[in-house]
Amino acid sequence: MKMAVIGAGIVGLATGAGFADLGHTVQCVDIDTSKIAQLSRGIIPYYEPGLEALVLRNTAAGRLSFGHDPAKVLLEAELVFIAVGTPTGDTGEMSLAALWSAIDRLEAWPQSDVRRIVAIKSTVPVGTSERVESRLRGRLPEHCLVDIVSIPEFMREGSSVRDFFEPSRIVIGTSSADVAEKLTQLHQRLPGPILATDRRSAELAKLAANACLAVKISFANEIAALAEQTGADYPSVAHSLGLDPRIGPHFLAAGLGFGGSCLPKDTRALVRLADEVGAPQTLVEAAVRANAMLPLRMVRKLEAAISDPRRRKVAILGLSFKPGTDDIREAPALRLIAELTRRHPGITLTAYDPEAGAAARKVLPSSVTVCDSAEEALKDADAAILATEWREFRHIPADDFKKWMNRPIIMDGRNALDAAALNAQGVVCIGVGRLPVLPKEFIRRAGELVPKI
C-alpha cells in the first residue's frame, strides 16, 4: 500500500518506519523542515530505542522517505495517517491547531476515483473525527472519496518501535464495514488483538486508557504516602496488590508521579470534555491534583534530611519523564526543580540525564548546572534526588556515592535503588512509601541526617 504519515514525531516516525518495514511504501511529512532535513540525512531527531536502525534500513530499501510538502505524497497515498501533536492549549483545552492545519493541507488532494482513508492517530477529544469529516467534505471536490477513521495510538515512548510490532491492541473506529475490513487486513501481520468499533468509542478508548493509568499511579502514590505515615513498606504492599488478578501488577510503582507528553495533557482534555458535556470525572480530577503534589512532598522529605537547603548542593539524577527517552515534556524532574528553587532560592542544583541533557539545557534556568555525567553532578553534593530510573543509576556503587558526594544521602524518587544494600554500605537511601533505614554511620541531629563523627 502507498501511505503517507503527516507529523514525523515519535508516533508518526515509528508508525511510518514500522509500516515501511512491513513492505509498504511510506512518506512521512512534517512542517518542521529542519526535522525533515535531518531525517533525510539519516539523523533521528530524538532518542528512541531501535528507531534509527529501522529508519535507516527502510530508507535504504527505498520504502521510506521524508518530505514537507504533502501535495506530492497525496497524489499517490491511499492511506494517510495523521500523527501531529495535540498539546494542551493556552486555555487548558486540547489544542487541535496542528490537526486542522494538517487536514487543511489535504485539500490539495487530487481529484480521482480512488477511495482514500484518513486515519487519525493523534489523541483527540471525542467527536473530532466527525468534525474532520465535515470540514473535509465541505472543501474537497465532491467526487473525492475519503473515509475518516479514528485509529488511536497506544505506543509508549521509549518502546515505540517494539510497541508498533507488538501492539497491546489495535482499535479501528469507523462507520464503514469496508474500511474496517481493509484496515484489519493491513494490521493483520501485527500480533495484537484488533477491535473494530465506532469513531467516538475509539477516541474515548484512548483518553480513558490514559486517565485510567493516571488514576492508578496517583492511587499508588497516595497509598505509598499512607505507608510512610503508618510504618508500612509500600513496595511490599504493591507486590501484594499486583498479585491480585483483578488489579494486576502494572502502574503500581510509587514515585514522583506521571509526566510526559501524554498523561498530563490527556487527563486535562478528558476532564475538560467531561465538564463540557456534564459528566464530571471527579476521580480523574483528583488523580491530577494528587500528582501535582508529589514534587512538594519530595522537597519536604529532602528538608527533613538536610538543613537549610538554600546553602546546599543537591544533584538531580534523571531529567526525562521516564527512562528510555530524551523527552522532558512535563517531566516530574523539571517540576521538582521548579519546586526546589521556589522554596529554596539560592540552592545549588546540578543535574544529569543520560539522554535528555541537551533538551533540558534549553529549558532549565541557568542556575541549574546540567552535567555530562553522574559523577560530575554528584561531586560534592549534600544530597541527590533520583528522579528518573535510568538503569545507569542502579549501577553506581555505594563507594562512588561516598567518594563523590559531600554527604551520601540519596532520595530515591523511583524506588529504583537497592536501599538495603546501600544503607548497609554507609549510603543513606530514602525511597518512596518506606521507612528510611539509616546506615550505622549516620545519626539524626538538629533536624538533619549527619555522619557520626
Ligand X SMILES: NC(=O)c1ccc[n+]([C@@H]2O[C@H](COP(=O)([O-])OP(=O)(O)OC[C@H]3O[C@@H](n4cnc5c(N)ncnc54)[C@H](O)[C@@H]3O)[C@@H](O)[C@H]2O)c1
Which residues lie near ligand X (CB under 6 A)? 6-12, 29-32, 35, 83-86, 98, 101-102, 121-123, 153, 155-157, 261-262
Compute the distance between CA of residue 65 and CA of residue 24 in angstroms, rounded to an integer.
Answer: 11
When the beta carbons of 100 and 222 are compared against ligand X, the nearer one is 100
When the beta carbons of 88 and 197 are compared against ligand X, the nearer one is 88
Q: What is the smallest separation between the CB atom of 236 and ligand X, expressed in angstroms? A: 31
| Placement of cell 497491546 in the chain | 168
Find the residue with minimal CB distance to ligand X.
9
Torsion of the alpha carbons at 158, 164, 166 and 168, rounded to the nearest 10: 80
When the beta carbons of 48 and 412 are compared against ligand X, the nearer one is 48
Q: What is the smallest separation between the CB atom of 17 and ligand X, expressed in angstroms? A: 13
When the beta carbons of 129 and 261 are compared against ligand X, the nearer one is 261
When the beta carbons of 123 and 129 are compared against ligand X, the nearer one is 123
Q: Which three cell numbers stand for residue 173?
A: 473506529
When the beta carbons of 98 and 299 are compared against ligand X, the nearer one is 98
When the beta carbons of 155 and 419 are compared against ligand X, the nearer one is 155
Compute the distance between CA of residue 253 and CA of residue 239 in angstroms, rounded to an integer.
Answer: 9
Compute the distance between CA of residue 363 and CA of residue 334 in angstroms, rounded to an integer.
Answer: 9
Contact criterion met (CB below 8 Å) for 128 and 159: no
| Placement of cell 467527536 in the chain | 127
Q: What is the smallest separation between the CB atom of 296 and ligand X, expressed in angstroms? A: 27
φ/ψ bin of 324: left (φ > 0), alpha (ψ from -120 to 50), beta (otherwise): left
Residue of 28, 144, 212, 262 with catalytic role: 262
Compute the distance between CA of residue 42 and CA of residue 45 in angstroms, rounded to an integer.
Answer: 9
Q: What is the CA radius of gyration of the chain?
A: 24
Chain centre distance of CA 48: 12
At 448, which helix (H) or strand (E)? strand 448-451
φ/ψ bin of 317: left (φ > 0), alpha (ψ from -120 to 50), beta (otherwise): beta
When the beta carbons of 15 and 218 are compared against ligand X, the nearer one is 15
3-state secondary structure of 267: helix
Q: Per DSSP, which regions of 140-215 are E strands?
A: 145-150, 170-173, 194-197
Beta carbons within 8 Å of 343's beta carbon, 6+ residues apart? 299, 309
Contact criterion met (CB below 8 Å) for 52 and 93: no
Compute the distance between CA of residue 100 and CA of residue 91 in angstroms, rounded to an integer.
Answer: 18
User: Closest by alpha carbon to 110, among 149, 146, 68?
Assistant: 146
144 belongs to the catalytic site = no
Contact criterion met (CB below 8 Å) for 437 and 422: no
Residue type, 249: P
Q: What is the smallest separation between the CB atom of 41 and ligand X, expressed in angstroms? A: 16
Q: What is the smallest separation between the CB atom of 153 and ligand X, expressed in angstroms? A: 4
**Strands 313-317, 194-197: parallel, antiparallel or unpaired by DSSP?**
unpaired
Q: What is the smallest separation between the CB atom of 122 and ligand X, expressed in angstroms? A: 3
Report, as residue numbers or ranges, the catalytic residues. Answer: 262
